[in-house]
Each structure stands twice: as structure tokens, then as C-alpha cells.
Structure 1
Amino acid sequence: MTKKANLKIKDYSISQEEFTLVYDEVLDMFSTDPVPDNLGKYYLSENYISHTDSNDGLFEKVYQWVKNYMLKKKVKLISSYVEKGTLLDIGAGTGDFLNQAKKSGWKVTGIEPSPAARKRAFEKGINLFEEEAEVGDRKFDVITMWHVLEHVPDVEKQIEWIKNHLSTDGVLIVAVPNFNSYDAKYYKSFWAAWDVPRHLHHFSSKSIKTLFETNGFNLIEQKPLIFDSFYVSLLSEKYKSTSLIKPVSAFMIGLRSNWRAQQNKEYSSIIYIIKSRNTQNKTF
């Protein structure tokens, strides 16, 4: 197999700056270099819609429509592994997932570093912690990270923290983009899910399996996030086409990505269901 080379990727959504993605052959993972000292400023934009609930343009409307549809699907997913209990969402954004889980009977806790996002969550009746230290030594039946692990500076330190805060038979849900997907290979440097420098790490299925199994977890199951290929392709078309956005082309690439992934399982984004290795075996 040909060794992957480092990549040069531009921040098309906010700063227009260029960053290098450094490849780790052992983990099959890229990491963004350099990591800006003032990383927070790269989130301070209406373009960063997971923190703003923006619903103004085509991309925002697509994002919000899919998000609202997926909220119930995500709660249904976690409830298929743990019927009800305590739930911690790391990187909770504006609190919509926790709000839906709360309505479904979960006892919810969330962590979100963005003041603007926490404010919006508070307006929805969801109080979020700013940082993990505020959680103390509490343990949770389910911990979720929906497109958050790629934002974490020290992945192994994060995994260790999760291990210390997951209950004995708890379940961890991690969703991240997959750079081995068809849409990633098609759009190359324009692939929107690179999202540098906000995304500090870029994963494959091998990355996730290796990272978590090395640190005391077992990967139980993988599930696709079907809609991600369409949204990411639409945004990638925006980056790629300076004068004309091609929604039909984006739809076809998203469709083709999902079709190919039915054979090779390389979906645009993947949900990983993970359990601590020291838990008892359980049939799902």
C-alpha cells in the first residue's frame, strides 16, 4: 500500500489560512499543524453553525433540517444500548441533542467551551459546564461525542478521562468524519470535513479502532451517518467552485459515496459504539 503523504489544506470557511496535515502511519491518522495558539477565534463566526443555530442560507437550512431529523435518531440509538440513565454529551454545542434526550427521559449533563453556544443552550433550558473539571468524579451510563473528538488537542488524554467517567457497563458513542470515504477522495483538499484548524485530528476506521483498543476499550459496532456525505459534498462544492455552487453535483457525489460505502463501509462519517474492555460481555 502506498504511504500517504502530508497534505496542505486551506481553511475555506473562516480564515483562508493554510495548514499542513501530518500523517501518522501507525495510527492511519492526520493531525493539523500548526495548531494556532488562539484557536478559539476560529470558532467565532456565524459560519460555524453548530455554535450559532444559524438558519439563513442554503447550507445552514440543510444543516438544521438534517440536525433536527437526526436528534430523535441519535436518542433512539443510545436507547438501544442503554434503556435510560445518565448521559454526558461532550461538546454539546447549543444543547439540542441533550434537550431531545431530556425529553425522552434521560438525566443529562453537557460540556461546551463556547460561551455563545452555552448561552443558546441555557435559553433552551439546558445548563452546560464549560470544562471537564466541573464534572468532578461523576460517572455516566452513556458518554457521547458527536463530531467532537476531531476537535480535541490530546486524544489519548481524552480517552483516559472518558474511561474514568464511564460507568461499569457504560457505552461510549463517538462520531467522526472518515477521510477514506469516497467524497473525501473526490474533493481532496476541498473536502469540507477537513475543516482546519478546528479539526485537529482526522480519522479513519483504523485510527479509531487502534486508539481505543490500545487504551482499554473494545469497538462494538459501527453505524453510518448517511446524511453527512450530502451536506459535506454541498459545502465542498462551495469551496471548490468560486463562481457557481453545484447542488446537483453535490447530491450525486453524496449518493455515490453512500452507494460505494455499502460495499466497503467507508462512509463519509461513522458512528462508533465503544465499551470499556473490563465490562462484562453483553449481547446487543
Structure 2
Amino acid sequence: MSLQPPVAAVNILDRETLPCALCGGERFVVVLSGARDWIGARPGEFTLARCEGCGLIATRPRPTRAALALYYEGAYSGSGDAGLAEHELGVKGPGRLVNGYRLHVIDQLRKLGENDTLLDVGCSYGGLMWLARKRAGCATVGVDLDEGALNAAHKHPRASYHHGVLTELGLEAGRFNLITFMECLEHDLSPVETLREAKRLLAEGGVIAIEVPCWEGLWRPIFGRFWLPLLMPQHLHHFSPASLRACVEAAGLEVIDQRAMFFPAEATLSLGQALGAALGLPAPGAAQSAAQRVLGGVIGLVLALFWLFVELPAQFLMWLINRTGHMMLIARAPQASPR
């Protein structure tokens, strides 16, 4: 017989309301309601609200940490199919192209060398780390909450992995020349605290690169609650260029570059999500009837034409005016003023 008291089952609908993670404010204005977990089809509706004090948008109320873990189950796990693993590892396909693009942008501000060390926060299968080692020969360290992905990640003598939250790991101060948060900070419960820890870990002359969805992207108001980069409820904070910059500066960092990223798939995937919901199609990966498979094929053809003739040219124009659905910010520790 166990001597431990019974543990109450976690309710996926458990919610909590906390002050603003940036300014501590407690007055908010609703900017979007009725958002759902369109990908995992788990229960619950979510509301986004803007802080009246600083403008940071967050899910309010948000799932508790225990409830949030239920929404992540199976979504990012290394137990997924081999094709996903290869994509995330950067061995082939879009994953390698995306990570190459990211490193190209970062290299313009801080080029990695073989004596450098990269820390990738939210590393998943380690695809960015793999490509950085291949290009620069640098040492790499990854951090992620998904133990399954870490177990499946690329093993290498110059790669190490840590399972957990960055602020709780106690990594060596001043060790890392480049710290990356690629599509990660929006998942963070306390983004400013995490960035403060990243500053502590940064080596002299190092930089921090942050890529997140951009709330001010022009596709977002078109698709509303079906806009794929919302990714509810895993995405807890929703940044504009100004609010991301404010979080970085609140952590004691100095912004040296901020730009839109060119990822020409957000509108097509958002349209597919909206059509699937409107037609009652099951969530991705779920069993489908013969009729649903036929309908899915028709939708796939429509989406392919939309991507080629609508999204590609539109996304290029949005990138030119800095209004795509993703952005990258690069920061460093403040430089001492010359005497």
C-alpha cells in the first residue's frame, strides 16, 4: 500500500490569471476571443488580451502549468514519425532551409567560429545546432522541455542537451557566444525572466537571437482566430515589434537588429486550418472517412494554387514592408561607453 497521499487528476481546463509578465499590470483589453486548439483538437476556448500598461498581448486566463502539459502531449514529442524527425533534425527538407536562413541572418551580426559555443533554447531535435556545427564547427548546447525530442536529437561530441527550464538549470555564466530562441519565447511563462538568465549566460561580445510570430503581420487580421502562428494554447505571449523590444530591454539587453522573416507558408496553413474547421474535418493525424480523404485532397489542391499564386507574391511584398507574420530580433549586453 502506498503511503503517498492521492494526487488529484489534472484538469485540462484549469486556468490561472497572473499580472503582465512585462510591466506587472493588471488591466487588460480583450483583442481576440474564441481561439481553440485547432491542431490537437483538445477542449477549451482561449482569449487574448492586451496589457493597458505596456501593450504586451497574452492568453488570459491561461492554462496552469500542469494543464498546459496536457496540451503539449504528442505535439512536439520525439515519438513522432521518422519524417518529422528528419525535418526537425535538419537532415533534409524545409527544416534545413529554415535553419540555414536563420543562421544567415544571424551571421550578418555575429558570425560563429569553431571556438564559439551556441546555446539553443527550445532546441527540439537539435536541427539548428546540427547545421551550426556543420557550418562553423562550433560547440553546441540545447535546452528543451520535451524529453522525447531530446532523446531523438542528433548526438555529436560537440553537442550536449539539458532537459528543463532555462532559469532552473544553473548553466555556467558567460559561457555562450550565441544564444538562440527560435519560435520559443512565445511559449515561455516568464519571458523577461528567461531573457535575464540568457544575459547572465552570454559571453563578452556574444549576441542573443530571438524569432517569434509577429502580432502585427498582415495575415493575422485576415485569418483571425485561425491564424496558424497563434498556436493556442501553447503560445502564451503574442509579441508586436514594440512589445518584444520592450521585453528585451526590460531584461537589460540592447537591441542591435530587428527585422521581418520570410516564411511563405503561414497564410496557406492558416487557410487550411480555417477550411478544415468550417468543413468539420478531423484534426491532423486523426482517422478519416473515405469522403473526408477525398475532400482533403481537393482542399490540398486549392491550397497549392493559393500558395503559388497568392501567398508567395503577397508574402514577398509583406517582407519588403516589414509586416510578415514572423520576426527576428538580435540583442547584446549593453556596451560600455568609451571614456
Aligned to 1:12: 38
Q: Does the 8 Å contact 1:217/1:277 carry over to 2? A: yes
Aligned to 2:101: 73
- Matched positions, count: 270
The one-character-per-residue Cα deviations of 1:160-194 (angstroms, maximum 9, x if unpaired) are: 11111111221010000011111112111110111
Among candidates 32, 55, 77, match of residue 28 of structure 1: 55
The one-character-per-residue Cα deviations of 1:61-111 (angstroms, maximum 9, x if unpaired) are: xxx732211222333333331342111000001111111112231111110
Q: Which amino acid aligns with 1:40?
A: A
Among candidates 193, 198, 215, match of residue 179 of structure 1: 215
How far apart, in 2, do the equivalents of 1:26 and 1:68 lie? 40
Aligned to 2:324: 267
How far apart, in 1, do the equivalents of 2:122 and 2:52 lie? 28
How far apart, in 1, do the equivalents of 2:149 and 2:76 lie? 11
Question: 1:36 Cα shift?
Answer: 2.0
Question: 1:240 Cα shift?
Answer: 0.8
How far apart, in 1, do the equivalents of 2:179 and 2:200 lie? 11
User: What SS is found at the alignment partner of 2:161?
Assistant: coil
Q: Report the CA distance shift for 1:78/1:135 in structure 2 as closer, same or farther (over 3 A).
A: farther
The reply to whether residue 141 of structure 1 matches residue 177 of structure 2 is: yes
Q: Does the 8 Å contact 1:51/1:114 carry over to 2? A: no
Q: Does the 8 Å contact 2:78/2:151 carry over to 1? A: no
Q: Report the CA distance shift for 1:67/1:25 in structure 2 as closer, same or farther (over 3 A).
A: farther
Q: Which amino acid aligns with 1:134?
A: L
Moved more, 233-242 or 154-163: 233-242
How far apart, in 2, do the equivalents of 1:108 and 1:96 lie? 11
Q: Please give the residue correspondences for 1:1-284 in structure 2 after superposition, counting only pairs within 5 Å.
A: 5-8=30-33, 9-14=35-40, 15-37=42-64, 38-45=67-74, 48=76, 52=80, 55=83, 65-80=93-108, 81-84=110-113, 85-103=116-134, 104-122=136-154, 126-131=159-164, 132=166, 133-139=168-174, 140-227=176-263, 230-242=264-276, 243=279, 244-245=299-300, 246-247=302-303, 248-251=305-308, 252-253=310-311, 255-263=313-321, 265-278=322-335
Question: 1:4 Cα shift?
Answer: 6.6
Question: 1:18 Cα shift?
Answer: 1.1
User: What SS is found at the alignment partner of 1:193?
Assistant: helix
Aligned to 2:10: none
- Structure with larger Rg: 2
Q: Which amino acid aligns with 2:145?
A: P
The one-character-per-residue Cα deviations of 1:136-170 (angstroms, maximum 9, x if unpaired) are: 22321110000000000011111111111111221
Q: Which amino acid aligns with 1:109?
A: V
Question: 1:256 Cα shift?
Answer: 1.6
User: What SS is found at the alignment partner of 1:145?
Assistant: strand
How far apart, in 2, do the equivalents of 1:181 and 1:86 lie? 33
Gaps (5+ residues) in structure 1?
A: none
Question: 1:250 Cα shift?
Answer: 4.4
How far apart, in 1, do the equivalents of 2:257 and 2:154 lie? 33
Question: 1:52 Cα shift?
Answer: 4.0
Question: 1:40 Cα shift?
Answer: 1.7
Q: Does the 8 Å contact 2:118/2:139 carry over to 1? A: yes
User: What SS is found at the alignment partner of 1:109?
Assistant: strand
TM-score by length of 2: 0.71
Q: Does the 8 Å contact 2:262/2:315 carry over to 1? A: no
Q: Which amino acid aligns with 1:153?
A: L
Q: Does the 8 Å contact 1:51/1:93 carry over to 2? A: no
How far apart, in 2, do the equivalents of 1:32 and 1:278 lie? 35
Q: Report the CA distance shift for 1:185/1:68 in structure 2 as closer, same or farther (over 3 A).
A: same
User: What SS is found at the alignment partner of 2:212?
Assistant: strand
TM-score by length of 1: 0.84
Q: Report the CA distance shift for 1:34/1:5 in structure 2 as closer, same or farther (over 3 A).
A: closer
Gaps (5+ residues) in structure 2?
A: 1-27, 280-298
Give % identity.
Answer: 22
Q: Does the 8 Å contact 1:181/1:261 carry over to 2? A: no
Q: Report the CA distance shift for 1:70/1:6 in structure 2 as closer, same or farther (over 3 A).
A: closer
How far apart, in 2, do the equivalents of 1:106 and 1:262 lie? 32
